[in-house]
Amino acid sequence: MDEPIQFVDLKKQYLSLKPEIDAAIQRVIDTTAFINGPDVSAFENAFARFCETKYCIGTGSGQSALELIFEALELQKGDEVIVPVNSYISTALAPSFVGAKVVFVDCDPASFNIDPKKIEKAITRKTKVIAVTHLYGQAAQMDAIMSIAKKHGLLVVEDAAQAHGARFKGKRVGNFGIACAYSFYPGKNLGCYGDGGAITTNNAVLAKKLRLLRYFGQTKKYIHTIKGHNSKLDTIQAAILNVKLPHVEQWSDRRLELARYYNETLKGLPLKTPAIDPNIKHVFHVYCIVTDKRDRLLQFLKDRNIFGNIHYPIPIHLQKAYRELKHKRGDFPIAEHLASRILSLPLYPELAFEEIDRIVEAIKEFYKDSRGSE
C-alpha cells in the first residue's frame, strides 16, 4: 500500500523549523518566564501588526477568546446574537455563555459562509450582535454584512479561528467588526503545540477591558478592579508562535497554490470544487469539495491510505447542546444539504503536488468504479 497521506501533518512543519522551535522552548524554560513572559507581549505586538489591527490580546484558546469578547460587550440576558449555523460550535457557545439567545442563520451554498441575504430576516428588536465566521479560511461577505449591521445599529464580532491573514477587498479580516477571535489550536493555519488563542481589535477601551478580563481583572498585582478569568496565552506557546508567525503569509500562499492545483486537476468530475473569489484572499484552512457520494468517497480514499475529513457533519442547530431552541431538520436547508455532502481533502503547506496527483487519481478511479457510478 502507498504511504499514508494524512489530513494534516504537523510533524513536517515542526521538522522544517526544529532548531528554532526547540531553542525558543528551551529559552522559556531557562529563564523560567512561564507566565506572562516576554514572548507573550512580543507575540501580541507581532500578531497585531500581522493582522493590521491596533491591539492583540492573547488568550488560552479560540473558544475563550470568543467568550471574553461576548462578556466584554456586556450583553444582557435575552439579547439576541445572530450566528452562522454552518460554523464550529464555539461561535454559538460563546454568546450562549453570557446568557444571550443564539439566532442561527443559514449559509450561502457557494461560499459556505453566512448568507447576508438571510441575516436581515433574523433581526428582531432584541438583536445586538452579528457573529461572523470566516469559514475554511475564506472571508465572509463583509460589505453586505457591515451595511446590514450599520443600518440596524448592531455590533459585528468576527471569528477568524480558521482565517489567519485572510483578506476581504484588500482588508485583513478582523478589521471589520468590533473584535475578532483567533485560535492557535495545533492544526490551524497558525498553530501552537497545545491550546492558544487571541483577540484583535482596533478599539482601545475594549482592548483594555479584555486585558483585565483575561487575567483576574487585575490592574496591578493583587489589585482587582473587575471580576476576571484566568485565560492567557501560555509563554511556551507564544515562543513557538513567534517562530512560526513570520512564515504564515508564505504558508497561506502555498495553501492557495495547492487549492488552485486541486481545482484544476479535479475539473470535469461530478463534484463541486471551492470557488475562488477574486475579492477575497482565501487562506484555505480547509479545502472542501461537495459530492453526493461523500461517505463512499471518504471510505474509498481511506482504503487507499488517504485521509479526508468532514467540517462539520452535524450543523449546530441539530446538536443536542442546542435542543432548547427546538430546531428541526429542514430549518436550515443549505447547511443540512451540505453536511451530508462536504468532504475536506488533505491540504497543508508541506503537501506535495505529487501527493495531490495521487489523491486526484484515486478520486477519478472512484468515479470510474462501479461503486462511484451507480
Ligand X SMILES: *Cc1c(COP(=O)(O)O)cnc(C)c1O
Q: What torsion do the CA atoms of 242, 89, 230, 50 make, to the nearest 10 degrees?
A: 30
What is the Cα–Cα distance from 282 to 168, expressed in whole angstroms? 9
What is the Cα–Cα distance from 353 to 236, expressed in whole angstroms? 33
Q: Which is nearer to ligand X, 10 or 269 (CB)?
A: 10
Question: Any alpha helices (H) in 7-124, and if so which ranges?
Answer: 10-31, 38-51, 62-72, 90-97, 116-122
State yes or no: cis peptide before 312, omega within 30 of 0: yes
Q: Residue 5 carries which side chain, given as an amino acid letter?
A: I
CB of 88 to ligand X, least distance (A): 4
CB of 233 to ligand X, least distance (A): 11
Q: Which is nearer to ligand X, 167 or 293 (CB)?
A: 167
Q: Which is nearer to ligand X, 97 or 353 (CB)?
A: 97
CB of 19 to ligand X, least distance (A): 27
Instruction: Identify the CA nearest to 281 among candidates 162, 183, 138.
Output: 138
Site residues, ligand X (CB under 6 A): 61-63, 87-88, 90-91, 133, 159, 161-162, 183, 185, 195, 197
Q: Report whether 58 contacts 233 (CB < 8 A).
A: yes
Q: Report whether 232 contacts 215 (CB < 8 A).
A: yes
Q: Which is nearer to ligand X, 285 or 341 (CB)?
A: 285
Q: Which is nearer to ligand X, 91 or 344 (CB)?
A: 91
With CB atoms as reference, the residue minimizing the distance to ligand X is: 62
CB of 192 to ligand X, least distance (A): 9
CB of 374 to ligand X, least distance (A): 35
